[in-house]
Amino acid sequence: MALMLNGTNDYMDQYQDKLVSADEAVKIVKSGDWVQYGEFVMQPKDLDAALARRVNELEDVKVRTVTITMIPEIVKADPKREHFRFNDWHFSGFSRALHEQNLCNYIPITYHEARKLIEEFVQIDVAFVLVAPMDRNGYFNIGTSNSITSYVVEKAKRVVVEVNTSVPVCLGGNGEGIHISQVDYIVESQTNPKLLNLPPTKISETDEAIARVVMEQMEDGACLQLGIGAMPNAIGAMIAESDLKDLGIHTEMLVDSFVDMHESGRVTGKRKSIDKGKMVYTFAMGTDKLYNFLDHNPVCASYPVHYTNDPAVIAMNDKVFAINNAIEVDLYGQVASEASGTRQISGTGGQLDFIFASFRSKGGKGFICLSSTKTMRDGTVVSRIRPTLSPGTIVTIPRSLNFYVATEYGIALMKGRTTWQRAEELISVAHPDFRDELIKEAEKMKIWARTNKQDI
């Protein structure tokens, strides 16, 4: 016991030696540096504000983050991008708005490759990381966003942690802590702001209809991954109210609906092959309900993304059901989930990883879900199942990897289908008002056959 107490005292001495103000800490940033900010709801606000105050002292400082949940102060302080260049690995609504003003650039990434990408191809001079208070063993927990943070800390030349008492302690798993020996400076938040609570997602009748279509495919013992958005939330709510048994969780993003599923008894993890009984995730975003559920909860396991999103790891579990959104799908089966034309909307994220893995999983199914139509700003209604993707649009899921496509009109299977069979399947789940037009386009593209179904 004496040894443990002495160790604790030693860590506290190190803590005091490394404790500085935010303004003092950001002095380590030099012109030309690459600076890594936190991820998702784990954004270091005091350090961001302090770095912004140095705007006129610095040139060509490049900042990276993952899915900002605020407008960074460095961007506000430098609206002409003369001192800071801001970049995001995955766009949020904030990133999207900044991109349209030419104030943010996207960084393409296949999420499960992040560790090697950072280790071999990315420069990080300084890392700012938001953390929970240090424990008696000298560790700072990285809270709700494991993802790439452990790789960033290993790669960065200098590491600064911003301590916030509102951060829940999220257990691993692996990679969920930073030891004080890895830290150069410690900054204590002056306000300890609560983590961002996502606003309620409005679930439309169409979202519910798509969710019901997917629910018809669900099975006891399925291992779930849900993407972000109204439709996956609708599925989560339906699962919580269902009589499904022994579901498992191995997901990229943990959201509030997983809490509902667990508390309703739908989730036990008993049938998982790996991490049995654990709800595995790499980052979490939601409300205080989720953050309170995560805090010191051993049923939850936080892992770096090279583990959670590796298709080979995911597929070790049977019946992986991956459920994700898309913007549009073309008649070849190509999926666009991150951009419309040249407009970057989100990012690849883990969609490719989980759709690929679901096919490799015994009994698995991967669903790309989208409403059949979209209403444009001018009131025009367009089909989201298109002959070809809009010009300039980025392909998120290539046609060779696409598995199932679901709309409110049913499910289309892509695997093992010829081009004309794909067109037939997709047109059958398109909105009826657009089916004749899609058939005509399919004929021009030579992917339509006279033997096709006559009732489409």
> Annotated active-site positions, please?
252
Instruction: Tell me which long-range contacts 49-57 makes (C-beta under 8 A, separation of at least 24).
Output: 49/22, 49/73, 50/21, 50/22, 50/23, 50/25, 50/26, 51/26, 51/128, 52/76, 52/77, 52/78, 53/23, 53/26, 53/77, 54/26, 54/27, 54/29, 55/83, 55/84, 56/83
Number of residues that this document lists for the chain: 456
Q: Are 362 and 371 in contact (CB under 8 A)?
A: no
Q: Are 242 and 259 in contact (CB under 8 A)?
A: no
Residue 22 has phi, psi (to 5 degrees) of: -60, -40
CA distance 22 to 40: 21
CA distance 324 to 322: 7
Residues facing 106 on adjacent strands: 88
Nearest CA among 193, 188, 248 for reference residue 224: 248
- Residue 361's alpha-carbon distances to 222, 321, 342, 444, in angstroms, are 11, 9, 34, 37
